[in-house]
Amino acid sequence: MKKILILFLIWCFSENALSQAYITDDGSIKFISRAPLNEFDGNSSYLNGLIDLDKNLVDFYIDLNTIKTGISLRDSHMRDSYLETNDYPYAEFTGTIENIEQINKQTLKRGLKVVAKGDFTIHGEKQQKEINGRLKLNDEGKLILEAKFKVALKDHNIEKPSLLGYELADVQDVEIKAILNEK
């Protein structure tokens, strides 16, 4: 009887056991600027990040110099005049998962909506942000993250371009996708 109980407990814990930390250095980020006369997006596949379920820590950053919009002159203006990447080369989010208690192997295999709350910093300006996302554990044991959020330029002291024909939305839509490996 003891052997059956021990085997049952091992099985129960192995079903819910998770590797506690996952990392990536090749996630993707996309921002979309939807201004009335000009819509464009910027992309980078150099998103770095960590999700540590044991410590309830979420930390992602991107080197803003890696974002490309498809027009090199626009990229140069974006980096030099507005994001000022010489002084502020990174955007970063550091926070915690609000519904961490819902996370176990079974919920992640099905996919789980999560809410991360923390500090988002870009252009040297830190703001509290709540980010909705989805985590899913795939069959290879990799953690898939998808998230969307908005960034208001004024919240981060980023000036809008005033040049005719170069319009930028007040609020940028941001999408993140990443496959994180066990650390």
Instruction: Out of 9-23, 48-62, 89-103, 156-170, pick the least confident.
Output: 9-23
For 67, the enclosing helix (H) or strand (E) is none
Average pLDDT over residues 26-34: 95
**Topology adopted by domain 19-182:** Lipocalin (2.40.128)
> Alpha carbon of 119 to those of 59, 79, 137: distances in Å?
10, 22, 25
* Buried-exposed string 11-49: b where 16+ CB fall within 10 A, e elsewhere: eeeeeeebbebbbbeebbbbbebeeeeeebbbebeebbb
Q: In which element (H, E) is residue 114 found?
A: strand 112-122
Whether 17 has a pLDDT exceeding 60, the answer reads no
Q: Which amino acid is at 112?
A: L
Q: What percent of the chain has pLDDT over 70?
A: 87
Least confident residue range of 4-13, 28-37, 83-92: 4-13
**Interval 136-172: pLDDT, tens:** 999 999 999 999 999 999 999 998 876 555 678 899 9
Quick one: tokens of 133? 């996302």
Residue 6 has pLDDT above 70, yes or no: no
Q: What is the pLDDT of residue 166?
A: 63
Please give the helix or strand (H or E) that residue 6 lies within, else none: helix 2-16
- Per-domain residue ranges for the chain? 19-182
Mean local confidence (pLDDT), 68-75: 93
What type of residue sits at position 29? I
* Contact by Cβ (8 Å): 61, 91: yes
Task: List pLDDT tens digits, range 82-124.
Answer: 899 999 999 999 999 999 999 999 999 999 999 999 999 999 9
